[in-house]
Amino acid sequence: MSIDNGTSQLSFPLRGEIPSPETLIVRDIDVVGTGALRRHQLEELQKTKKFILHTHESMIPESVQSIYQAELIRTLQWLRPVKTVKKDIFDFLLEEQVLFSKIFPETTKALGFAVNKIRDHYLDEMEWSSWLLQDHWRYFVGFLRQMFPDKPELMETAHWEWVQAWIEIQPFDLGELEKNVVIVNPSLQIVSFSQNNAVLKRDKGMYAFVYSREKATVVERALDVYEAQFIDLLQEDRKYTPQQLTQTALLSDEITPQLSSEEWQKKFFSLCQDAILICET
């Protein structure tokens, strides 16, 4: 989006080419409190670009004002804009309509001619209770489930797209890792397909999504029953070293055919490579 003074506004989610001006406009409704991929993208841009931050404090719902103000302060510390400008007005409905098509492109196609009516019905029903525009769509998958209980492919497609959008912006904190203790990536989200999904060209099954800090991307991975077993074990209220985890999985009689110790280890290391499991050595 071009601005009259020669700057350009960044449009999120970031797709395609970055505007050429040295100084770019970002908005609080897109960046305050974000982490994961979006923060990484902004920090990479800081190497060659400067930011002007537009804030919309008067438009933020009262119920989240105190949280917003605290997150704004934290964001200013790492975003380091050259200037902050208060803006009083933006077209909320138009912004959300445009954002919907970016977050849910395949869902938009699947809904066909009904998409605008369904999208706007959701916007009419849901009260804005965040400061980030993207957060307003967090209940959309459940909304579709109520409207179309007999169309699992549609709901699962929307869930797939929402999970990726959600992970892109969340500020996941690993905290202080214990050495040689395996944990599940805190960003882990699971999407299950009850049938082959023709829209997304994915087979029936379970898919894991995580944000990988090392790869600076959202990783998608189909999980087999053995990989899912590792995750199930780590949901229990106990700690595992890599050796303990693979040995416990090896002793499990819940899955057949059983794998050898070496095969379990290969699956464990593969999950670590995709940042689904994390272990500080």
| Per-residue model confidence as pLDDT tens digits over 189-220 | 999 999 999 999 999 999 999 999 999 999 99
Count of C-beta atoms within a 10 Å radius of residue 123: 17
Asked whether 34 and 135 are in contact (CB, 8 A), the reply is: no
Q: Which amino acid is at 199?
A: V
Count of C-beta atoms within a 10 Å radius of residue 203: 11
pLDDT, residue 176, reads: 83
**Residue numbers in the chain where pLDDT is lower than 70:** 1-7
Cα torsion 200, 96, 213, 233: sign: negative
Asked whether 106 and 159 are in contact (CB, 8 A), the reply is: no
Report which of 124, 131, 129 is spatially closest to residue 33, judged by C-alpha positions.
131
Q: Residues 248-255: contacts with CB within 8 Å, 24+ apart?
A: 254/229, 255/225, 255/226, 255/229
Q: Which residues sit opposite 193 in a β-bridge?
A: 205
pLDDT, residue 1, reads: 44
Cα–Cα distance for residue pair 140/126, rounded to 1 Å = 9
Q: Which residues sit opposite 42 in a β-bridge?
A: none
Q: Which amino acid is at 70?
A: A
Asked whether 46 and 82 are in contact (CB, 8 A), the reply is: no
Cα–Cα distance for residue pair 39/278, rounded to 1 Å = 21
pLDDT, residue 101, reads: 96
Q: What is the dihedral of CA 17, 3, 168, 164, to 10 degrees?
A: -70
User: 25-63, pLDDT tens digit by residue?
Assistant: 999 999 999 999 999 999 999 999 999 999 999 999 999
pTM, to two decimals: 0.93
Secondary structure class of 209 (helix, strand, coil): strand
pLDDT, residue 273, reads: 97
- Whole-number percent of the chain with pLDDT over 90: 89
Return the CA Rg of the chain.
21
The 8-class DSSP code of residue 257 comes to: S
Q: Which residues contact 258 (CB under 8 A, 6 or more apart)?
A: 250, 252
